[in-house]
Amino acid sequence: MIVVNQECTKCGICVEICPIGLEMGQDGPKLNYAASCIKCGHCVAVCPQGSLDHEMVPINKQVSLGNNQVLDSETAGRFLRSRRSIRKYKNEAVPKEEMLKLLDIARFAPSGGNSQGLSYIVVTDKELLTKLSEATLKWMEEQINKGGALSKTYKGIVQKTGQDLILRDAPALVIATAPKNFPIGRDNARYSLAYVELYAPTLGLGSCWAGFFEMCAASGYPEIYQLLDIAEDTTVTGAVMVGYPQYKYYRLVDRNPLQVSWR
Ligand X SMILES: Cc1cc2nc3c(=O)[nH]c(=O)nc-3n(C[C@H](O)[C@H](O)[C@H](O)COP(=O)(O)O)c2cc1C
Closer residue to ligand X, CB minimum distance, 51 or 237? 237
Does position 84 interact with ligand X (CB under 6 A)? The reply is yes
Find the binder of ligand X among 10, 87, 101, 131 (CB under 6 A).
87
Does position 200 interact with ligand X (CB under 6 A)? The reply is no
Distance CA 54, CA 60 (A): 10
If we measure between CA atoms, which residue out of 91, 90, 213 comes closest to residue 157? 213
Residue span binding ligand X (CB under 6 A) among the ranges 28-36, 104-112, 171-179, 205-213: 205-213
Please name the helix (run of DSSP H) or strand (run of DSSP E) that holds residue 208, with its range, or none: strand 206-209
- Binders in 104-163 for ligand X, by CB under 6 A: none
Closer residue to ligand X, CB minimum distance, 51 or 207? 207
Does position 211 interact with ligand X (CB under 6 A)? The reply is yes
Closer residue to ligand X, CB minimum distance, 54 or 84? 84
DSSP annotation of 61 reads G
Residue nearest ligand X by beta-carbon distance: 211
- Coil, strand, or helix at residue 179? strand
Distance CA 241, CA 239 (A): 7
- Coil, strand, or helix at residue 35? helix
CA angle 52, 54, 57 (to 5 degrees): 120
Distance CA 137, CA 128 (A): 14
Does position 208 interact with ligand X (CB under 6 A)? The reply is yes
Does position 228 interact with ligand X (CB under 6 A)? The reply is no
Find the binder of ligand X among 50, 191, 209, 246 (CB under 6 A).
209
The binding site for ligand X (CB under 6 A) comprises 84-85, 87, 208-212
